[in-house]
Every structure is written in C-alpha cells, then in structure tokens.
Homo-oligomer: A and B are copies of this chain.
Amino acid sequence: MIGDACPSSKCADCGFRSAVFASLNAGQLEMLTSGKTFNAVKKGATICKQGEEIKAFIFLRVGLAKLVRNTTDGREQIVGIATPNDFVGLLSLFSSKIYQYSIIAIEDSEYCSVDYSMVMDLIRGNGVFAQSLLEKISHVSDILINTRLDLDLRQLRGRVAFIICYFANEVYGATKFNLPISRKEIAELIDMRVENVVRILSELRRDNIIRIEGTTIDILDPEKLKWIKVHG
C-alpha cells in the first residue's frame, strides 16, 4: 500500500503538472520524479495524522478525503473535504512543523508524497514556482475560510442544503450521487448533531426536494434546495 511506483512514472506526464508544476524546468521535474512516492489507499485509510511531523507535501490524485481535527475535548471536527487537484494538503504545510489535521480517505484514493525539503528547494530556486504555490495555498485557504464564514451565517436547514449542493456541484458535478460520508460525518463537517442532520434530510425528502435511496441522494428540486441553502 505504500511506495508503489506511479502509474506514469514521470511527473512530467502527470495531470498535476499543469496545476502547480508547470513552471518547473526539465531538471527540476526529473528531481521531482525520482523523489516522489506514489500511494494507493482504501476508503478509511489515514493518509496523514494530526500532530505528526510534516515530512512530505501531499497531493490527492484520485479519490476523496476528509480533513479531520481532533479537538482538545475529544470531539471530532471535519475541517473540509479534499478533492483531486485542490491541494488541500498544502494547508498548514508552511506554518507548522506538525500536521494540524489528519487526512483520511473517504473513497479509495491515490496520492503522491513529495519530500518536504525538496519542495523547499524548488521554492527557493524557482520564483515562478514559488508564486504559483503562493497562489494555490492562498486560494485553498480562502475557500476554506469563506465556506466556514458562509456556514456560520446559516441555520441548520441552510447548512444541510449547502452541503448537498457542495457535493452535487463541486465534487460530483451531478444532481444524483453517492454521499461519501455518513450522517455523523455531515454533522461533524457543519457543526450540528446527527439527529438534526437526519431530521432535516427527512424533511427535504418529505417536501420532495431530494430523494434518498440508501446512500444515494437525488436532487429533485434544485431551485428550492438553493433557496434553502441561501435563505434557510
């Protein structure tokens, strides 16, 4: 499960290149290729653990993961969802020596780890790369903060609608999808209690706004759902 070769062994061919590594030259890409580690993990696997030393820069290539924070009083809080190409792994990379959050796969996933010191060398040696990394990390942080602020303004109905829209629009790009997280995890993600998540989902179903079949959610009335997300 650890340290497999990357399917396309050259990082130059990897889909990620366009995203952050576009500015690297041939030599730097070669360094990256030989220094990275490819990993494939099953749903539920821990990719990195809160509190442990940061040794690598983590890239989600395929799949889905949750960022989890264990609070001092023993509760769990889901900080956000990491999707391929969004560089959530960057989050506290430069501000701390230890991971602020755990990253746990919520779908079968593939990711690459790039040695921390190698990334630092690339930053110092390539200003354009540094700039693009600044833009990425800034963007990821901004989205996270703005999402949180948006959620804070809403009451529970609006938060649940928000999260359904999020998975539909941002993650799956479809009105019908498999919810990758449990009711309890939804609760941890939007700061509410399991019972209320369930209750509100039931209400949305009763009002024919969504259909729930097992783990599948089907949005029947996107307009009404959006209205609840904004006003409710």
Q: Report A's interface with B, CB cutoff 8 A.
A: 69, 71-73, 75, 77, 79, 91-96, 100, 120, 123-128, 130-131, 133-135, 137-139, 141-142, 144-146, 148-150, 152-153, 191, 230-231
Contact = CB atoms under 8 A, between A and B. Distances in A.
Given A127-B125, A131-B123, A134-B123, A149 B93 contact: no
Contact of A144 (B79, B145, B231): B145
B131 A95 contact: no
B127 A126 contact: yes
Nearest to A148: B148
A91 B142 contact: yes
A87 to B, nearest CB: 12
Nearest to A100: B142
15 contacts: A73-B230, A79-B145, A91-B145, A95-B139, A95-B141, A100-B142, A123-B130, A125-B127, A130-B130, A133-B134, A134-B137, A137-B141, A141-B141, A141-B144, A148-B148
A231 B73 CA distance: 9
A135 B95 contact: yes
